[in-house]
């Protein structure tokens, strides 16, 4: 195992390069007896696929998932779920010019140095195309969470220097998919659509933040000491391409507060123990406390831009890298289902692990 598996009980092992024959994965530890809505899984994939709007890459990836095992008469059997997504529209020639180039802030250089060999076509294994496999596993995880009344919702909350002026508690999740930016606010979404289009015309890219909220999470998920629920969420998010930051609950702002302000007093609300505030972000001592889990994830601007840049090639010569191809000026809208997927995978894993806690 060399880093291509996540999860201890509910796990995804993924494989595939962006321009090979197919990408795919194996979901192991999926409980038996889950009646799957296969159409819903495809819909999640569609949320991630390129070409949804002019804001994102115009590549036409069909991203049709094919299940090969583990599902019998639409029901999970408890055996591993193998699946593939064929790579179509794979113009490998598009990448011939970068065969010996190290594109700035891409993984070209590090892969080449680590492995001594590089499948240069479209970023190979380092391409975000791999995240489609996560969306498949995440879509199944979300259906399992649904059965337990747990809801995972992510949305774009910042683009470049601009931020949504709403707390997670004020957001109407129904608005998320109403616009191509996946911003749950019509006005702010319109502004950002214009902004990103401007960025695109300039041949540049822009980063931002995605916020995620988990409601209905049962108390008790997460293991001390190292496998705290927040620690596993942090890892899951940082395993997504282009992520540069993660903060839970009060986050970096919370670090500026005093303890007397930050502490969340417990109250008894009609027989249910809850907290007056939720700076903890739904996790205390690494274990979910039943309140909303919410966090922000920072994404850097994507490295592929349409401007010329300086770099070096494999022999160390300084070169110019030409912007070329079809790429995303802003990856955020497509990253929303990925953040949800990684969150759902992590939660289901801990849901199962928690079953072994008490005698």
Q: What's the closest the beta carbon of residue 47 comes to its own copies, in angstroms?
A: 20
Cβ contacts of residue 268 below 8 Å, gap of 6+? 274
Nearer to its own copies, 38 or 298 (CB): 298
- Sign of the CA dihedral running 37, 39, 44, 45: positive
Q: What's the closest the beta carbon of residue 176 comes to its own copies, in angstroms?
A: 19
Nearer to its own copies, 60 or 72 (CB): 72
Q: What's the closest the beta carbon of residue 186 comes to its own copies, in angstroms?
A: 23
Cβ contacts of residue 49 below 8 Å, gap of 6+? 61, 62, 63, 132, 334
Nearer to its own copies, 144 or 176 (CB): 144
Q: What's the closest the beta carbon of residue 159 comes to its own copies, in angstroms?
A: 9
Distance of alpha carbon 197 from the chain centroid: 23
The answer to whether residues 136 and 25 touch, using CB atoms and an 8 Å cutoff, is yes
Nearer to its own copies, 172 or 308 (CB): 308
Nearer to its own copies, 283 or 336 (CB): 283
Q: What's the closest the beta carbon of residue 49 comes to its own copies, in angstroms?
A: 19
How many CB atoms lie under 10 A from the CB of residue 352? 18
> In this structure, what DSSP letter does residue 255 have?
T
The number of C-alpha atoms within 13 Å of 22 and in the hemisphere containing its C-beta is 11
Type and span of the H or E element at 71: strand 71-72
Cβ contacts of residue 247 below 8 Å, gap of 6+? 295, 296
The answer to whether residues 183 and 55 touch, using CB atoms and an 8 Å cutoff, is no
Nearer to its own copies, 160 or 216 (CB): 160
The answer to whether residues 98 and 120 touch, using CB atoms and an 8 Å cutoff, is yes
Q: What's the closest the beta carbon of residue 170 comes to its own copies, in angstroms?
A: 21
Nearer to its own copies, 6 or 189 (CB): 6
Q: What's the closest the beta carbon of residue 131 comes to its own copies, in angstroms?
A: 9
């Amino acid at each position: 195992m060399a880093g291509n598996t996540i999860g201890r009980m509910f796990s995804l092992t993924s494989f595939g390069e962006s321009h090979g024959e197919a990408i795919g994965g194996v979901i192991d530890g999926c409980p038996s007896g889950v009646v799957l809505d296969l159409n819903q899984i495809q819909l999640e994939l569609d949320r991630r696929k390129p070409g949804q709007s002019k804001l994102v890459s115009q590549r036409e990836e069909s991203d049709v998932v094919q299940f090969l095992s583990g599902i019998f008469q639409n029901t999970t059997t408890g055996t591993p779920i193998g699946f593939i997504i064929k790579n179509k529209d794979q113009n490998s020639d598009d990448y011939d010019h970068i065969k010996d180039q190290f594109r700035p802030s891409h993984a070209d250089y590090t892969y080449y140095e680590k492995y001594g060999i590089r499948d240069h076509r479209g970023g190979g294994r380092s391409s975000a195309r791999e995240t489609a496999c996560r969306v498949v596993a995440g879509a199944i995880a979300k259906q399992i969470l649904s059965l337990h009344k747990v809801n995972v919702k992510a949305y774009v909350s910042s683009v470049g220097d601009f931020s949504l002026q709403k707390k997670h508690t004020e957001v109407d999740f129904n608005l998320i998919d109403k616009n191509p930016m996946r911003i749950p606010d019509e006005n702010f979404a319109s502004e950002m659509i214009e902004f990103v289009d401007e960025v695109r015309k300039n041949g540049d890219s822009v980063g931002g933040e995605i916020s995620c909220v988990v409601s209905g999470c049962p108390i008790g998920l997460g293991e001390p000491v190292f496998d705290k629920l927040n620690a596993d969420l942090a890892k899951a998010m940082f395993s997504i391409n282009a992520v540069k930051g993660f903060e839970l609950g009060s986050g970096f702002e919370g670090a500026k507060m005093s303890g007397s302000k930050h502490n969340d007093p417990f109250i008894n609300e009609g027989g249910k123990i809850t907290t007056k505030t939720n700076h903890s972000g739904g996790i205390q001592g690494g274990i979910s406390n039943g309140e909303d889990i919410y966090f922000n994830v920072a994404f850097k601007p994507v490295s592929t831009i349409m401007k010329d840049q300086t770099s070096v090639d494999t022999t160390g010569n300084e070169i110019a890298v030409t912007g070329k191809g079809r790429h995303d000026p802003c990856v955020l809208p497509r990253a929303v289902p990925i953040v949800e997927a990684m969150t759902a995978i992590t939660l289901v894993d801990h849901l199962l692990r928690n079953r072994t806690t008490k005698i």
